[in-house]
Amino acid sequence: MSDHDSDLQALSRERMRYAVALTLAMIAVYFGFILLLAYDKPLMGKLLMPGLSLGILLGALVIVVSWLLTYAYVRWANRVYDARLDALKR
């Protein structure tokens, strides 16, 4: 195997590790939220202020976290992955 091929495989493994780590983080956030809904309904129904329960706030935070994780991946891909891939193409 040439150095080029091994560098490409190393980059591919790094991308996969990054993607898997972010995916596991999202799974933990999502299933944590679902488990709270399933097993601690009184906590999730607790009103923080009129019209805003803890469940609604945490649900919105799940969405925000998913956006942030997506942003983290896109930023990494644009700055690191694409630059290294372009260097390997040359």
Position 19 scores a pLDDT of 95
Q: What is the pTM of this model?
A: 0.84
Length of the chain: 90
pLDDT tens readout for residues 47-67: 999 999 999 999 999 999 999
Number of domain units in the chain? 1
The CA dihedral of 63, 71, 21, 43, to the nearest 10 degrees, is: -20
Q: The domain containing residue 72 runs over which residues?
A: 3-89
Quick one: what percent of the chain has pLDDT higher than 90? 84
Kindly report which listed range (5-9, 46-50, 67-71) carries the lowest average pLDDT score: 5-9
48 φ/ψ angles, rounded to the nearest 5 degrees: -90, -35
Binned at pLDDT 50, 70 and 90, residue 1 comes out as low
